[in-house]
Structure 1
Amino acid sequence: MHKKTGLFFGTFNPIHIGHLIIANHLAEFSDLEEIWLVVTPHNPHKKKKTLLDNNQRLEMVYRACEDYPKLQPSNIEFSLPQPNYTVNTLAHLQEKFPERQFCLIMGEDNLKGLPKWKNYEVLLENYEIYVYPRISEETNTEDLAKHPRIHMIDAPIIEISATHIRNSIKAGKNVRPLLPNKVWEYLDEMNFYR
């Protein structure tokens, strides 16, 4: 039996409790046995001042996952040529870990844009996609939601934004409840986003 592994991609800048709630919900209440939180590397063509270094973001994900054995940090995309596409990452992972069955995790807002993804038919043909709900004005995902490989998951709706967290820290606000404790301690100690 292949170990069903969900891939949850993100810049995780920073990882917050919203990410953890969704990842843990999928690990506990779906047939996914393990969730890998895949840290998306800095795109060299985009100068984003607010994006922390790859390894600092990976460190935060590592600290956030420490107490959750079913959640694992992953830096797999750091070694892939940029700009990278999800379809390439999946092919690379499948080759590296043939004993696992990889599935994609995405928010409902991303599902709407799926047809614009590179080789999205290949993705749909070969991988299952687990979709968690988002609040959004206009989601017309009915057609895709009916696809046999797409699973709509009844996870809690969490609307916490990493941008809001960064801006709040910069403004000297206390956002500690929005972050896993170990992540908050690391951010505080490193003076990130100030």
Structure 2
Amino acid sequence: MKIGLYFGTFNPMHIGHLIIANHMAEHSDLEQVWMVVTPHNPHKKKSTLLDDHHRLEMVHLATEGYDNIRPSDIEFKLPQPNYTVNTLVHLLEKYPMHDFSLIMGEDNLNSLHKWKNYEVLLQNHDIYVYPRINGAVANQELIANPRIHRIDAPVIEISSTFIRNNIKEGKNVQPLLPQKVWEYIDHNIFYKK
């Protein structure tokens, strides 16, 4: 089975994440999309993250009813901070029958050369890239790589940071979140402080 891995802190998961995941599942040759909740991204401040189990629960709530989009806590079991190349090795050992690909925005593709062992990623895995408004990619050699697949997905510019800041300011962000995620955040009084 061909599976696309969509990594993120999902702090919180919003409709933009869901739109991209669904588009990849419906408009590419990926059979499933796994939303891989990252416990700690080496490039982000850990202090801004909700507990891992809360973020995973929001992904569960957001993906209910989507047969080919699934939450994954695979990185919770790996040493931290973790890197994508290590996660892929672990997944291939655990699920040798699957073919794993990466899903990322153009902005991440532009910095792929800074990732740990990025050459190994490109040699062994396809990368499905969705457009971003500020996603100008300078490296034409990378774009020409047969492992890179640009997918004409909707351009979604909603950020979890924007949502958290607006909740803190008492603004209504309900339209930016799947209903059950909004209810979970509201019930638990997340991001208010």
Which TM class, normalised by the smaller chain length? Answer: over 0.9
Q: Is the 8 A contact 1:42 1:53 kept in 2?
A: no
Partner of 1:191: 189
Query: Which residue in the other structure is 2:132 paired with?
Result: 134
Match of 2:88 among 87, 90, 108: 90
Contact 1:133 1:155 in 2 (8 A): yes
- Cα deviation for residue 140 of structure 1 reads 1.4
Equivalent residue number for residue 149 of structure 2: 151
Contact 1:39 1:75 in 2 (8 A): yes
Contact 1:111 1:141 in 2 (8 A): no
- TM-score, normalised via structure 1 length: 0.95
The whole-number CA distance in structure 2 between the counterparts of 1:104 and 1:146 is 17
Q: 1:47 to 1:30 in 2, by over 3 A?
A: closer
CA distance in 2, matches of 1:19, 1:43: 17
Q: Does 1:122 align with 2:120?
A: yes
**CA displacement, residues 103-161 of structure 1 (integer Å, 9 cap, x when unaligned):** 00010000011111111111100000000000117431422111001100000000001
Percent identity reads 69
Alignment partners' CA distance in 1, 2:136 and 2:98: 35
Output the aligned Cα RMSD.
1.6
The superposition leaves residues 28-83 of structure 1 with CA deviations (integer Å, 9 ceiling, x where unpaired) of 00000000000000369975433100000000000000121110000000010111
Counterpart secondary structure, 2:48: coil
Within 5 Å, which residues of 2 pair with 1:1-194?
3-42=1-40, 48-136=46-134, 138-194=136-192
**In structure 2, distance between residues paired with 1:168 and 1:83:** 29
Give TM-score scaled by structure 2 length: 0.95
Are the counterparts in 1 of residues 106 and 136 from structure 2 also a CA contact under 8 Å?
Answer: no
User: Which secondary structure does the structure 1 equivalent of 2:155 belong to?
Assistant: coil
Cα 1:44–1:138 change in 2 (3 A) is closer
| Separation in structure 2 between the aligned mates of residue 159 and residue 69 of structure 1, nearest angstrom | 25
Quote the Cα distance in structure 2 between the aligned partners of 1:45 and 1:128. 23
Matched residue count:
192
Q: Which residue identity is paired with 2:178?
A: P
Q: What SS is found at the alignment partner of 1:9? A: strand
Q: Is the 8 A contact 2:56 2:73 kept in 1?
A: yes
Q: Which runs of 4+ in 1 moved over 2 A?
A: 42-50
Contact 1:50/1:193 (8 A) holds in 2: no
| CA spacing shift, 1:137–1:106, aligned 2, 3 Å | closer
